[in-house]
Amino acid sequence: MEVPRNKLELRDDPTVLSPPILTQPLYACAKAVNVTGYVPGATLDIEVAGAVVVAGFAAGSPAPFGAIIHLPAPLVAGQAVRARQSYGSATSPWAAAATVVDHTVDYPAGPPRPELFPTPLYNCGVRTGVGNLLVGCDTWITADGATAGSVAGANNPQGVNVAPAYSTNQTVRAWAQLCDDPSPPSQKHQVQPPPLPLPAPGFDPIYQGGTQLVVNSIADGAHFTLSRNGIAVGTLSCWGGKCIVGLSPAFVTTDTLTATQELCPGDGPSPPGTGQVLPCSSLPAPQVAPVQDGATQVTLTAFVLGSEIKVFVNNVKTGDGSGPVVALIGPVPHGATVDVWQILGTCQGSTVQQLTSHCVAPPTGGDPSAVDLFPVGTHDYDDGQVSFDGFTYNVRGSIYYPADDDGADQPFNTRLARLGPAPLVVCVHGAHDPAFPSYRGYDYFQAALARMGFVVVSVDENQTNEKPDWGGWTQNIVRRAELGLASIAYLQTLNANGPIFKGAIDFSRTGLMGHSRGAECVIAMAERNTLAGVAIRSVLSLAPVNSGATSGRPKGYAFMTFLPAADGDVVDNNGAQFYDQATPDSIKVQLYIDHANHNFFNRQWFNDDAHRTNPLRVLPIMSRPDHERILLAYGCAFFRFILQNGATLPYLIDQLLPAGALTDNVHMAYAVQGLRVVDDYENHPITVDSEGQATAQLGGITAGDYPFAQAGGAFNSSFFGNTTGNVMTAHERAGDFREPLKSPVDLRRMEVRVRAAEVYQAPNIPATATGFRVGVEDGTGTIAWVDVDDVGGLSRPFDRRAFDALTKTMLSTFRFPDHCFGANSKLDLAHIVAIHLGLDRGDGRPIAFDDLQIAPA
Amino acid sequence: MALDSAHPEARRHDRDIWRLPKVVDLEVGVRHFEPPRRVTEEGKDRFVDEAVEIAIRVSEPFETRALNPVLWVGEEPLTVAEPEPDAPDVVRFYSFAPEALQTGAPIALAWNATGAERMETGFRFERGEARA
């Protein structure tokens, strides 16, 4: 909420400065470090191994990628490095020290491969961005094999000036090395003639008092000439897109800025673009990501480049730096009011962004699909036939794998192979018009996984889509599974005999991803697998049908399912049945995805199944790329966690949000192996819990066990899983369902988890949300409550009424960490004897609950 | 240059996956399988050598999609729907639990989803024959 600053009593203590943010990790041999989050114009000190090695570094503007500070000597593993900033008369605390490590700890197969951007590269281009670098490395660009530009001690990303300028048809690559350890080269990019005429450059909003502006619409690698009030400021080169320029003196509202751009001199400049200066009163408050209790930094989602950002917690200045991340001098307490203020030179924003910290508001982390280590090789196979039930199939498909270079049939990546065989992921498509090569539809997912070190196969099962086979339903899916296993058996021969894959595949780390019928098929594959040495450890079942081809109870592997809420084909979201019955070996995860249809996860499936005609029935859906982003983010997190022992679990249990995915549309349920189950409402009456303790219904509440399924005795017809749960209703504000523990629990560093949903009651969806609260009771009878709105809020039913009658009650998991309850100082968190589910809205609306658990926080 | 106003592209919906063909003829019989036919239920395979077969002649092919068509005999669903390879307008449904089929039950066609609309065929089930 944007509020006028003059209505607040913010204590702007000039002595408070945020510690700057030292980009981590730090690697040995790095010749430079990167620092962000400081006040524009501040000076920076860098301390290495207890000695200040850089003092009073004039850092200038932190936009757009912070300061790159070259060191007098390369870093050495084990050194501790710190940074601090000074501005005006104030000096910040030192940031927490970071320890230098050898890059082979994180990148045993060598530094990640650089990425050239933006592309395409144009004839006469003079500057290119290089990303995916380790800070402090050396990077260079070659054009037709000759070095065209280089930077020692690079930032990430790093702009590289190119001389001579690119020429059409040159092949350009980027390279990097650290500690004399070379990365693989970037993808090859061929220089193209630019589209002429070039467009007029544009300007992002320019504010009075600022000293930086952003010129946009710059062609890749072009240079542009900037003028202020008709007087040329200079000609600058830009990698393309947006380019930031610092000017002095500060802008005034009478300034007029103009720019033209040019690539080849003979082509002439573009038409001029013009920018005007907005008055200071137009400077908005920054946009801020939700703040979670205990946060030690604030993340901005929109701000003016080059601005200073001040953060106040309960009116006390707690941070002073710059976007996108401002470090705080102390953690945000529970329920604090956080005000974020933007200042641009002499212009002080008249409003601030105000928000309240929440008990649970997961921060956005990285992009689990963005790990880019290796070039990607591809290999199509078509080898032999197999027959099942009288149907004969070719064993064929497409393999993506980490290679020495990009392209078909390239050698397997030599350095990765030296480290041991790579895990395997097998993708299986579903039923679709056999005229389309469905198995090609997951190429983006295959490539992403291959870049991070997986061998990824997509099995061509199009012959199972021929009508006589397809119509077999359950048997069709069984045959799909057998054909998928035949491909794995074929891969074993490749692994045994080469030439590309000899010894390259670790079948003891096999994962499966199936879509639609393929999504039930992969569960059947796991159950039917008898191949020697093949251990299926993870299964991602995307929009599965449930024909009965499996036991219906995924077991013995980690399980994830996607339920597209706007699925117009598998309208029952049968994956919920598999999730409910899955044993959480390691973990099970369910994503109920608003605005997702059935088809858009496969690039060969063009039809929008959430759009029916005659009569017209339409559900609002995300774009196809947004569907793909969800599969990439969560799918890569899942397979990395299980098959590579990657640190991506937080994305699977709602502790981190993956960058780039529309996470507001994703409602997660999850369960981790080995947790204490207080109540799963299975196999006992509502009067006792799963620990055999007598429950109590208090405050006018009614609770009851119901099938959460399309079954007799269900609370209503909106449940589509396969389990039993508790539906509670209360017409008073004191509704309380008490679940005693068999033995007390020390809830410190622990959390309560429960699945819950607003029950959809046809035909109406109330205009406002409802909710509940969770209480924990200690041995003295003290109860501390936390509302679901403080941990994310109860999601609304996804409205399908314009499409069909299958609007659903679909449960999500909510976390209630210990610190949420800690605000009640009388509560003894070390001795909790009961958990309460409270209905305090007084609206009489039913809430569905399941899987009440206690877990490590 | 004139400024165009952006216009959203139409969503592609060139396949109506919920369309059902009309049933123009129907025949009930007993089918013997040699060799025995594999039938999987809850992930377990068994082999049967006989089933009640209801062969329907349809006005057009079914759309290939995730779900299968289902032939309802009263409240008993027959979920196997195998088009005849040489006569694709003939689709054979099988019941491996013939005792569940009630004589005189109306026969309807639908997609295999909760609440999917059932299209009455006008036929009723009679063992060994179908009556219009």
**DSSP line for A461-526:** -GGGGSHHHHTTTHHHHHHHHHHHHHHHHHHHHHHHH-SSSTTTEEEEEEEEEEETHHHHHHHHHH
**B42/A contact by beta carbon, under 8 A:** yes
The mean per-residue pLDDT over the stretch A745-756 comes to 97
**B90/A contact by beta carbon, under 8 A:** no
**Residue B19 identity:** R
pLDDT of res. A466: 92
Q: Which residue of A has its CA nearest to B1?
A: A199
pLDDT of res. B12: 61
Name the H helices within A172-304. none
Instruction: Tell me the pLDDT band of B86, cut-offs 50, 70 and 90.
Output: confident
DSSP designation for A597: -
Instruction: Tell me the pLDDT band of A121, cut-offs 50, 70 and 90.
Output: very high
> Choosing among A541, A562, A569, A603, which should be mutated to test the B contact, i.e. which has the most B CBs within 10 A?
A569
pLDDT of res. B88: 82
DSSP designation for A764: B
CA–CA distance, A704 with A730 (Å, rounded to integer): 12
Instruction: Tell me the pLDDT band of B16, cut-offs 50, 70 and 90.
Output: confident
**A556/B contact by beta carbon, under 8 A:** no
CA triplet A505, A507, A508: central angle to 5 degrees? 130
Query: Which residue from A633, A535, A550 is spatially nearest to A585, judged by alpha carbons?
Result: A535
The mean per-residue pLDDT over the stretch A225-248 comes to 94
Instruction: Tell me the pLDDT band of B85, cut-offs 50, 70 and 90.
Output: confident
Task: Give whole-number Cα distances, A551 to A347, A429, A539, A701, A799, in Å.
Answer: 66, 21, 15, 37, 31
CA–CA distance, A377 with A359 (Å, rounded to integer): 45
What percentage of chain A has pLDDT greater than the value 90?
96
Instruction: Tell me the pLDDT band of A613, cut-offs 50, 70 and 90.
Output: confident
Q: Is A684 helix (H, G, I), strand (E, B) or coil?
A: coil
CA–CA distance, A143 with A125 (Å, rounded to integer): 12
Sheet holding B87-95, edge to edge: B23-41, B44-58, B87-95, B81-84
Residue in A517, A548, A612 closest to B18 by CB: A612
Q: Is B114's CB within 8 Å of A710's CB?
A: yes
Whole-structure pTM value: 0.95
Q: For residue range A147-179, what is the model confidence (pLDDT) as tens digits?
A: 999 999 999 999 999 999 999 999 999 999 999
What percentage of chain A has pLDDT greater than the value 70?
100
pLDDT at A722 over 50: yes
Residues of A in contact with B62 (CB under 8 A): 467, 471
pLDDT of res. A579: 98
pLDDT of res. B14: 64
pLDDT at B60 over 60: yes
Would you report the helix, strand and coil content of chain B in percent, each value rounded to 5? 0, 55, 45
Instruction: Tell me the pLDDT band of B130, cut-offs 50, 70 and 90.
Output: very low
Instruction: Tell me the pLDDT band of A273, cut-offs 50, 70 and 90.
Output: very high
Got the DSSP string for A409-434?
TPPBPHHHHHH-PEEEEEEE-----T
The mean per-residue pLDDT over the stretch A431-440 comes to 96
Handedness of CA A172, A176, A182, A186 (dihedral sign): negative
Residues of A in contact with B40 (CB under 8 A): 474-475, 478, 548-549
Q: Find all residues with CB under 8 Å of A405, minimum gap 6, and list them.
A: A184, A185, A375, A377
Residues of B in contact with A467 (CB under 8 A): 61-62, 64, 83, 88
Count of all residues that appear for chain B in the document: 132
Q: Which of residues 781-820 of A touch B (CB under 8 A)?
A: 804-806
H helix and E strand count, chain B: 0, 9
Pairing verdict, β A158-161 and A773-778: unpaired
CA triplet A465, A467, A470: central angle to 5 degrees? 55
Instruction: Tell me the pLDDT band of B1, cut-offs 50, 70 and 90.
Output: very low
Q: For residue range A457-479, what is the model confidence (pLDDT) as tens digits?
A: 999 999 999 989 999 999 999 99
**B102/A contact by beta carbon, under 8 A:** no
Q: For residue range A543-579, what is the model confidence (pLDDT) as tens digits?
A: 999 999 999 999 999 999 999 999 999 999 999 999 9
- For residue A646, give both structure tokens: 């990657």
The mean per-residue pLDDT over the stretch B42-55 comes to 96
Cβ atoms of A374 and A453 within 8 Å: the answer is yes
Instruction: Tell me the pLDDT band of B2, cut-offs 50, 70 and 90.
Output: low
Got the DSSP string for A101-133?
E-HHHH-TT-SPPPEEESSS-BTT--EEEEES-
The mean per-residue pLDDT over the stretch A410-423 comes to 98
Task: Give whole-number Cα distances, A261 to A202, A225, A252, A257, A271, in Å.
Answer: 10, 6, 24, 14, 8
Instruction: Tell me the pLDDT band of B84, cut-offs 50, 70 and 90.
Output: confident
**B41/A contact by beta carbon, under 8 A:** yes
Query: Which residue from A430, A6, A36, A63 is spatially nearest to A212, judged by alpha carbons?
Result: A63
The residues with which A10 forms a beta bridge, in sequence order, are: none
Phi, psi of A824 (to 5 degrees): -85, 105
Instruction: Tell me the pLDDT band of A137, cut-offs 50, 70 and 90.
Output: very high
pLDDT at B131 over 50: no
Q: Is B64's CB within 8 Å of A472's CB?
A: no
Instruction: Tell me the pLDDT band of B3, cut-offs 50, 70 and 90.
Output: low
Would you report the helix, strand and coil content of chain A in percent, each value rounded to 5? 15, 40, 45
Sheet holding A325-327, edge to edge: A287-288, A297-302, A325-327
Query: Which residue from A356, A806, A215, A210 is spatially nearest to A564, judged by alpha carbons?
Result: A806
pLDDT of res. A732: 86
pLDDT at B9 over 60: no
**A461/B contact by beta carbon, under 8 A:** no
Q: Is A714 helix (H, G, I), strand (E, B) or coil?
A: coil
CA–CA distance, A812 with A797 (Å, rounded to integer): 11
Q: Find all residues with CB under 8 Å of B6, minimum gap 6, and list them.
A: none
- For residue A11, give both structure tokens: 């204590």
Cβ atoms of A503 and A401 within 8 Å: the answer is no
Pairing verdict, β A376-388 and A407-408: parallel
Count of all residues that appear for chain A in the document: 857
The residues with which A398 forms a beta bridge, in sequence order, are: A380, A458
